[in-house]
Structure 1
Amino acid sequence: MIAALRGDFLRLRFRPDRTHIVEIIERPALWLDRQALDELISACRGVVAACLAGRQLDYGLFARDEAAWGRSVITLVRRVSDGKPIAFNAMPLLPVTRGGQASNVLHLGLVMVDPDERGGGLSWILYGLTCFALFVRGGLRPLWISSVTQVPAVVGMVAEMFDDVYPGQAGTVASFAHRHLAHQIMAGERDAFGVGDDAGFDPDAQLITNAYTGGSDNLKKSFAVAAKHRDARYNHFCATSLDYERGDDLLQIGRLDIGTARRFLARSVPRSAMPQLAAQGSMIGVQAVIAPLLQWLDAERPLGRLRPAR
C-alpha cells in the first residue's frame, strides 16, 4: 500500500479487494523514468486493444507527441492473479482561468475496461476514486470537472456523482461559471477528447455536433449500442438531445465538493474497501494539508515571504 506525493505529484497504489490492484499516477511523463513510462503506456495500450478488437486510438493520451502523459492523471487497474492490465482511466488537467487566476478543470477523460471484466464493480475506482484523491490532496477545496460523452450511462453517472452538473442534472441551470469554463475548454482543449476543429458547438445546450472527426472516430456509437443508465430519464435525455448518426456529444461541467465526497463514500465505495481507502486518504491528507500546517505553525522555520526568519 503506497500513497505518496512526489514533489507536487500524486502516486497511490493499493488493493481495494482480493482480485484487483489499483495505481493512480499524476502527470507521469514529468517524473517517471523512461522505462517506467513505457511500461505504463504499453499497459494502457493493451487495454485499448482488448476493447477495440486490436485497433488503437491516436488522439489525446495516444497522440504521437505523448504530451498528454505530462498533464493527465492515470488510473490503472490490474488483476492480482497475473498482473494483467484490465482497465484504465486518463483524466487530463485542462488549464483554465477562473476569477482572473490560472486553474485546472479535471476532465473525466477516457475510460476503457476489458470486455471480459465489465460488470466487475470497477466504476467507483475509475471515476470517483481518482477525483476523491485529488480533492483530498487539494486541501478539500472545490474541484471543477468536465466530461464529454454520448453514452447515457456516463451522462447519468456524472449527473448523480457530482454537484452543479450541467447539462443532464435535474434542476441545474447553466451559470456563468459553466458557460465560461465550457467556452475555454472548447476554444483550446479539443484535442484532449479527440474533437476536431470542424465540430460545431451549441453553448446553450453545451452540445458538440459532429464530434468524432478529431481522432476519436473509433469511439462513435449508435444509441442502440451505447450503454444505458438504470434510470430511464438519462436514456431519454440522450436519445432526444443527441444525433447519434451525426455523432454528437454532451459537454458536462460540474463540481466536486464536500457533499460530493460524502456521497461517494456513502454510496459508491464497497464496505470492504473502506479501511484501505481511509488509510490512503489519511496519508494524502497528512502530506498535503496537515504537514504543511504544522510546518507553518513552527515559528523557528523560515517560510520565505510568508514569514521572515529570525
Structure 2
Amino acid sequence: MSSAARSSLVKELRELAATSLQPLPDYQCLSGMPDALNDKLIVTMRDDATGRVAAFVSAVYMQIALRAGDPPRTVLHMGLTCIAPALRRQGLMVPLFMHLYIYLHDLPECHDGLWITSLAEVPSTLGKIAEGMVDVYPSPSFPEPSDVHLRIARAVDERYRSAMGISPDAQFDAENFVFRGSNPPGSCFRKDSEDPQFYHRDAEINEFYRRLLGRDEGNEVLQVGFLDWERILGSGRKHAQTESYTDEVKTKL
C-alpha cells in the first residue's frame, strides 16, 4: 500500500471512530505516525451507496515467545472495533470478524490456530471472547492460567501497553489479569461495567466479569485464549446463510 493510500485509509478510520470515541485517541490504526499500520491487520466494511467505511476491526500482531528458549510466535490482539452508530445491532460483527479469521486461516504460521488477546471493560465484550475462543483465561470455564497464558500476559504488561491503549499508570493484577485504572477519568474508552446495556446475556458469565471489573473503576480485563479453527469455522458455517459474507469466505467455510 502506498503512503498516500495509507494516509487516506487512516483518515477514513478516524472519521468513523470519531462518531464513537471522544476525545479521539491518537493510537492504534488512528495514529498519524507513518508506521502506525505496520503491525495491524485491518478489515473494513463499506457502505454500498457511499463507499465510505461503515465498520472496521483493527487487530495488532505481537511477537511473543510461548515457551522458554523458543523463538517468538505471532499472537494477535483483537484490537479496536468501530461500527457506524446507525448500523449497530444489525449483525455486522460476525461477518466483520469472520473475514479477519479467514485471512488468518490462510497464513502458514496460523494454520494450526493461534493465541489471541482481548482487553475490555464491559462483561458483554468479555463474554463474547470467552464463548468464541478456547482455553480463555480468565473465564468461568478456565480457572487457572497456564504457563503460556502467563507468558503472554507478562509480555503485554511489559511491552505492549501502548499498542493496547493501556495507561502507563495502570497497575497489573497478575493473578486475575486485570489492569487496574487502565481507563482513567476522561478516557474515551471509560465505561461503567454496571450499566445494564453492557451486560452479557449469560448470567454466570456476566457476574464473573463484573466481579473482576469492579464498579466504574476504569479497570480492564486482559483475556488470553486460543483461536481454534474447528470452533471458529463451525460458527461461521452456522451463520453462513444469514450473514453478509463474500463469496470467497463462503467457499472456505
Q: TM-score, structure 1 length as denominator? A: 0.73
Say which SS state the counterpart of residue 55 (structure 2) adopts. Answer: strand
* Alpha-carbon shift at residue 74 of structure 1 (Å): 0.7
Cα contact 1:160–1:169 (8 A) shared by 2: no
* Alpha-carbon shift at residue 268 of structure 1 (Å): 4.2
Candidates 153, 157, 165, aligned match of 1:186: 157
Q: Give identity over the alignment, percent.
A: 25
Instruction: For 1:167 and 1:268, locate their aligned partners in 2 and report how far apart those are by CA, in whole Å.
Output: 27
Q: Which deviations, in whole Å up to 9, do the C-alpha atoms of 1:209-255 show, x marking residues without a partner?
A: 00025x99111101216522222222212222112432100000011
2:5 aligned residue:
36
Cα contact 1:146–1:253 (8 A) shared by 2: yes
Could you tell me which amino acid in structure 1 is paired with residue 4 of structure 2? Answer: Q
1:60 aligned residue:
28
1:79 aligned residue:
47
* Alpha-carbon shift at residue 267 of structure 1 (Å): 3.5
Could you tell me which amino acid in structure 1 is paired with residue 182 of structure 2? Answer: A
Cα contact 2:13–2:29 (8 A) shared by 1: no
Instruction: For 2:186 and 2:114, locate their aligned partners in 1 and report how far apart those are by CA, in whole Å.
Output: 26
1:94 aligned residue:
62
Structure 2 CA distance for partners of 1:169 and 1:79, relative to 1, 3 Å? farther
Structure 2 CA distance for partners of 1:170 and 1:176, relative to 1, 3 Å? same
Runs of 4+ in 1 over 3 A off after TM superposition: 266-276
1:70 aligned residue:
38
1:27 aligned residue:
none
Residue ranges of structure 2 left out of the alignment (5+ in a row): none
2:249 aligned residue:
277
1:140 aligned residue:
111
RMSD: 2.3
* Alpha-carbon shift at residue 62 of structure 1 (Å): 2.6
Structure showing greater Rg: 1
Cα contact 2:63–2:74 (8 A) shared by 1: yes
2:175 aligned residue:
204
Equivalent positions of 1:143-292 (< 5 A) are 143-213=114-184, 217-223=187-193, 224=195, 227-271=198-242, 273=245, 275-279=247-251, 281=252
Could you tell me which amino acid in structure 2 is paired with residue 77 of structure 1? Answer: M
Instruction: For 1:48 and 1:258, locate their aligned partners in 2 and report how far apart those are by CA, in whole Å.
Output: 30
Instruction: For 2:129 and 2:98, locate their aligned partners in 1 and report how far apart those are by CA, in whole Å.
Output: 10
